[in-house]
Amino acid sequence: MVEMPKVREVFDASTDFTVGIEEEFAILDPVTRSLDHRFEELRDAGARDPVLSESIAGELIMSEIEIRSGRGDNLAVAVERQREARARLFRLAADRGVLLAATGTHPWSPWQEQRIIDTEHYRRVEEGLQYVAWRNNTFSVHVHVGVRGAERAVRVCDRLRPVLPELLAVSANSPFLDGSTSGLHSVRSQIFTKSFPRCGIPDAFGSWRAYADYVNFLVATRSIVEQTQIWWSIRPHHTFGTVELRICDAQTSAADSTALAELIVACIAQAALDHDDGVPFDDPPNRLVEENFWRAIRYGLDGRLIDLARVDEYPAAAVAERLLAWTAPARAALGGVEPLLGEENGAQRQRRAFEMGASIEEVFAAEVAETQRTYAAQEVEA
């Protein structure tokens, strides 16, 4: 049951800039590198580990596993918790002859062969969405940041709407699907955010009342029964009192994933600081933000994005520098955060290898090897 007065209380009691990180991995057969239905095996084995028992979660299909940092009092704490949980998960998987991959989509495994996790929540998702749920074999990074105040949380979400395509361009890492090149840099976004209801870039609400009225409308019309059925790329999370940003593809390397999480936290914190300081901002219409969203899906960092305020194009390759410049005050306030962003994203790397003659299987094998090498790198105690 969604009770908006209680949700408001959660936000009004929230703590600024706590952080939670969630990363989704594909579970692979070690020989074929195809998706493998072994989530329950890993979950049950992880239940005996004091860290993994709190960190492992399911994410729709039996060939996917999510690892969560839990609530960190700050970014550094969340990153360290996530690193430890990752290392434990990868060691657990290796002990059972399982590979884990971190790209936005699996390049060839048929969606028709995947199985939905058997829980009440995912049975409800499958019953309600049917093909839309079955087709959604995708993998992403989600970041939660505590934002105190319900009104403020809504306005932070509003402020970040035009930033979402920029973050997608930075993170694009899914050029292949169904055994062929998609021609897109983030085909994950096309089959998830353009398919699920109440997904993608939301309208600007302007106030908590407008947002609460919309959620109450969804409940009254039996469109949803729980808040998690609102799948927007940015949303106020009713349980945690956080702003949750969900637009980014999973990252092949641990360093890229950590840098992306740091950048996302900085963006959310900067939006909150801008709100507090009364920095002028006009909510752009969705139709304008959608132009950049499509460009990010299609071209990633290889194309051009639109500066909506100036009505002018700029190279998407410059977006990371622009975001770092905008978030400089927040990054300083967060303790001097300096995201070590790569010169190219995963889609560019994979497309370049493919265009140089590597097969999709060879390209993916290299991505899997990089995931294994980097996410499992941290040593942890048994």
| Domains annotated on the chain, with CATH | 4-375 (3.30.590.20)
Beta partners for residue 100, in sequence order: 27
Residue type, 58: G
Identity of residue 205: F
Chain-centre distance for alpha carbon 101: 15
Among candidates 272, 281, 283, which has minimal Cα distance to 205?
Answer: 283
Cα Dmax for the chain: 58
DSSP-assigned beta bridge partners for residue 146:
242
Rounded distance, CA 257 to CA 173, Å?
11
Count of C-beta atoms within a 10 Å radius of residue 101: 23
End-to-end CA distance of the chain: 40
Q: CA-CA distance, 85 to 89, in Å (whole number)?
A: 6
Looking from the CA of 271 toward its CB, the CA atoms found within 13 Å total 28
The whole-number pLDDT of residue 334 equals 97
In whole angstroms, give the CA distance from residue 247 to residue 162: 12
- Whole-angstrom Cα distance, residue 192 to residue 250? 13
Q: What is the pLDDT of residue 381?
A: 38
Q: What is the pLDDT of residue 377?
A: 77
Whole-angstrom CA distances from 190 to 104, 194, 241 are: 11, 5, 29
Mean pLDDT by 10 residues, the chain (382 residues): 90 98 98 97 96 96 98 97 97 97 98 95 94 96 98 98 98 98 98 95 97 96 94 97 98 97 98 97 96 98 97 97 98 96 96 98 98 79 36
